C-alpha cells in the first residue's frame, strides 16, 4: 500500500477516537481545565509548522505568540507527541493555533552536559523507548550505556532490542555483555528477517501506548516498524539507496498508528540522535558515495567482505588521510561529542532553518 493511501485510511475526518492516539485520564483532566480550547496531539513538526490530531481529524497548526516570547528556551515549544490545547478543530483549510502544552509525561531530548537551555526536544509522552542495536557490526556496549542514559533521562521505560539475530553466531556471549550494563532493563533478541522475537516486542505495544525506536542508522529500525505495521510504511535503507532521488530526501509520517493498537513516534530528530550526519554527508559526499557501494549497509569498513571503502583506499582513489579525518569528524559529531554551541546551532537550524529565520519568526509572532 502506498503511504498516501495509508494516511487516508488512518485519518477518517470525523470522530477520531483520541484514546487510540494515547489520550488518557491524566491528559483529559488537565485539558478540561482550559475552557473553550480543544485537546489535540502533535503528529508532525516541520520547523514552525505543526500538524495536530483532534477528535475531528488532523489539521495544520502553529503556535501562539506566547511561545515565541520564550523562544530562548526551545523546550517550551511543542514537539511531536505533545498533548496541546488548540483554539479550533475545523480550520477549513487554514490553521489552528496551539495555546498550551499539557504537562509532559516524558521527554526525549538531546542536551549538552553542563549547560542550561541546551535541550532540544525530539519527542514527548513516549511510554517505551526501544533501544536498538544490531547483533552484527553495530554491537557496542558503550553505545548501549549512552542510549540507556538518554532513555532514563526521558522518563520513558527503556527496552533493549538486539536486532538481526539471524546474523549472529555468538549470542550467549553478547547477551552476557549486555547483561553487565542493562540492570533492570528488559532485553529482547529479534530478527525482522526470520520473525524471531517480534511477538515479544508486541507485548510492549498496546492501545494508547506510545513507543519509539532509537539506535544507529542501519540497525533495522524502519524494517522493525514495518513489521509491526504489517506493511511497508517506512522506506528502509536498502530501498532508499536504490531510489533515484537519493536518500536524503525522505520525509514520512512522524506518528504512526499500529494496526493492533499503539502509536509509534519516529521523528527525524530521533534518527539523528546518535550521529549528526547532515553536514558530515555534505562535507564528505565522496566518501558516503563510496560507502554506499559497500556490500553491507552497515559496513564498518574494517573486516567486512565487499567493502568499497577499503577497496578505494587500496587503489588510492580515496586517500588514507581524508578517510581518517572523516572518521575523526564522525566521532566528534556523535551525540556526546557535540559542544554546547554546536548543539544550540543545530537545534536552531532544525527548527527554523537558521538564525536569521528564527529571528524573523520571533518578530512575526510578536507582531500578531
Ligand X SMILES: Nc1nc2c(ncn2[C@@H]2O[C@H](COP(=O)(O)OP(=O)(O)OP(=O)(O)O)[C@@H](O)[C@H]2O)c(=O)[nH]1
Which positions make up the binding site for Zn(2+)?
294, 299, 301, 307
Q: Between the CA of residue 327 and those of 124, 319, 323, what are the distances in Å?
A: 32, 13, 6
- Please state the residue numbers annotated as binding site: 163-166, 215-223, 294, 299, 301, 307
Q: Which does 309 bind (CB under 5 to 8 A by kind): ligand X, Zn ion, none?
A: Zn ion
Per CB under 5 A, 287 contacts Zn ion: no
Per CB under 5 A, 102 contacts Zn ion: no
Neighbours of 338 (CB within 10 A): 21
Q: Give the nearest distance from C-beta 268 to ligand X in angstroms.
A: 10
Residue from 80, 102, 133, 294 touching Zn ion (CB under 5 A): that is 294
Q: Which does 297 bind (CB under 5 to 8 A by kind): ligand X, Zn ion, none?
A: ligand X
Are residues 101 and 83 in contact, defined by beta-carbon separation less than 8 angstroms? yes
Three-point CA angle 247, 252, 254, nearest 5°: 130
Three-point CA angle 351, 357, 358, nearest 5°: 55
Which of 71, 161 has the CB closer to ligand X? 161
Q: Which does 99 bind (CB under 5 to 8 A by kind): Zn ion, ligand X, none?
A: none
Q: Which does 164 bind (CB under 5 to 8 A by kind): Zn ion, ligand X, none?
A: ligand X
Q: Which does 217 bind (CB under 5 to 8 A by kind): Zn ion, ligand X, none?
A: ligand X
Could you tell me how far CA 184 lies from the centroid of its own chain? 24
Q: How far apart are CA 148 and CA 129, in angstroms?
A: 9
CB burial readout 210-240, b (16+ within 10 A) else e: bbbbbbbebbbbbbbbbbbbeebbbbbbeeb
Q: Give the nearest distance from C-beta 130 to ligand X in angstroms.
A: 11
Per CB under 5 A, 312 contacts Zn ion: no
Which of 104, 110 has the CB closer to ligand X? 110
Q: Give the nearest distance from C-beta 91 to ligand X in angstroms.
A: 32
Which of 74, 236 has the CB closer to ligand X? 236
Q: Give the nearest distance from C-beta 74 to ligand X in angstroms.
A: 23
**Grid cell at residue 88:** 479550533
Which of 161, 307 has the CB closer to Zn ion? 307
Candidate ranges 15-23, 80-88, 131-139, 289-297; the one touching Zn ion (CB under 5 A) = 289-297
Among 96, 20, 100, residue whose Cα is nearest residue 58:
96
**Grid cell at residue 349:** 537550524
Neighbours of 196 (CB within 10 A): 14
**Grid cell at residue 170:** 555468538
Are β-strands 96-101 and 57-63 bridged in parallel, bridged antiparallel, or unpaired? parallel
Q: Give the nearest distance from C-beta 192 to ligand X in angstroms.
A: 4
Phi and psi at 58, nearest 5°, equal -95, 135
Residue nearest to ligand X (CB): 220
DSSP code for 235: P
In the three-class reduction of DSSP (H, G, I as helix; E, B as strand; rest coil), residue 3 is classed as helix
Q: How far apart are CA 360 and CA 368, in angstroms?
A: 13
Q: How far apart are CA 322 and CA 334, in angstroms?
A: 19
Candidate ranges 106-114, 175-183, 231-239, 303-311; the one touching Zn ion (CB under 5 A) = 303-311
Q: How far apart are CA 163 and CA 144, in angstroms?
A: 13
Per CB under 5 A, 148 contacts Zn ion: no
- Please state the residue numbers annotated as binding site for GTP: 163-166, 215-223
Residue from 174, 227, 271, 301 touching Zn ion (CB under 5 A): that is 301
Which of 67, 284 has the CB closer to Zn ion? 284
Per CB under 5 A, 144 contacts Zn ion: no
Q: Which does 223 bind (CB under 5 to 8 A by kind): Zn ion, ligand X, none?
A: ligand X
- Residues in touch with ligand X (CB under 6 A): 163-164, 166-167, 191-193, 217-223, 236-238, 271, 297
Which residues sit at the interface with Zn ion, rule CB under 5 A?
294, 299, 301, 307, 309
Amino acid at each position: 500500500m502506498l503511504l498516501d493511501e495509508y494516511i487516508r485510511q488512518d485519518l477518517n475526518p470525523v470522530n477520531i477516537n483520541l484514546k487510540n492516539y494515547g489520550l488518557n485520564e491524566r491528559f483529559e483532566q488537565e485539558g478540561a481545565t482550559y475552557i473553550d480550547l480543544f485537546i489535540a496531539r502533535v503528529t508532525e513538526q516541520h520547523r514552525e509548522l505543526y500538524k495536530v490530531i483532534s477528535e475531528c481529524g488532523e489539521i495544520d497548526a502553529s503556535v501562539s505568540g506566547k511561545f515565541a516570547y520564550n523562544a530562548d528556551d526551545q523546550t517550551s515549544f511543542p514537539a511531536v507527541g505533545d498533548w496541546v490545547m488548540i483554539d479550533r478543530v475545523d480550520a477549513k483549510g487554514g490553521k489552528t493555533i496551539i495555546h498550551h502544552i499539557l504537562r509532559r509525561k516524558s521527554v526525549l531530548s538531546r542536551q549538552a552536559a553542563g549547560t542550561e537551555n541546551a535541550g532540544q526536544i525530539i519527542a514527548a509522552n513516549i511510554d517505551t523507548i526501544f533501544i536498538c542495536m544490531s547483533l552484527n557490526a553495530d554491537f557496542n556496549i558503550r553505545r548501549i550505556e549512552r542510549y540507556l542514559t538518554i532513555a532514563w533521562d526521558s522518563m520513558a521505560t527503556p527496552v533493549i532490542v538486539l536486532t538481526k539475530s539471524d546474523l549472529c553466531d555468538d549470542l550467549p556471549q553478547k547477551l552476557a555483555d549486555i547483561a553487565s550494563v542493562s540492570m533492570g532493563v528488559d532485553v529482547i533478541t529479534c530478527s525482522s528477517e526470520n520473525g524471531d522475537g517480534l511477538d515479544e516486542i508486541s507485548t510492549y505495544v498496546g492501545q494508547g501506548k506510545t513507543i519509539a525506536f532509537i539506535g544507529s542508522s542501519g540497525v533495522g529500525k524502519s524494517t522493525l516498524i514495518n513489521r509491526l505495521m504489517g506493511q511497508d510504511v517506512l522506506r528502509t535503507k536498502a530501498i532508499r539507496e536504490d531510489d533515484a532521488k537519493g536518500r536524503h530526501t525522505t520525509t514520512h509520517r512522524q506518528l504512526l498508528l499500529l494496526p493492533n493498537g499503539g502509536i509509534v513516534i519516529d521523528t527525524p530528530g530521533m534518527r539523528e540522535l546518535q550521529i549528526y550526519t547532515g553536514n558530515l554527508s555534505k562535507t564528505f559526499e565522496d566518501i558516503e558515495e563510496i560507502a554506499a557501494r559497500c556490500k553491507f549497509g552497515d559496513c564498518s569498513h574494517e573486516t567486512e567482505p565487499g567493502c568499497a571503502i577499503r577497496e578505494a583506499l587500496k587503489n588510492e582513489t580515496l586517500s588514507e588521510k581524508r578517510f581518517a579525518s572523516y572518521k575523526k569528524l564522525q566521532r566528534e559529531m556523535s551525540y556526546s561529542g557535540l559542544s554546547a554551541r554546536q548543539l544550540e546551532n543545530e537545534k536552531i537550524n532544525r527548527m527554523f532553518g537558521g538564525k536569521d529565520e528564527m529571528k524573523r519568526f520571533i518578530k512575526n509572532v510578536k507582531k500578531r
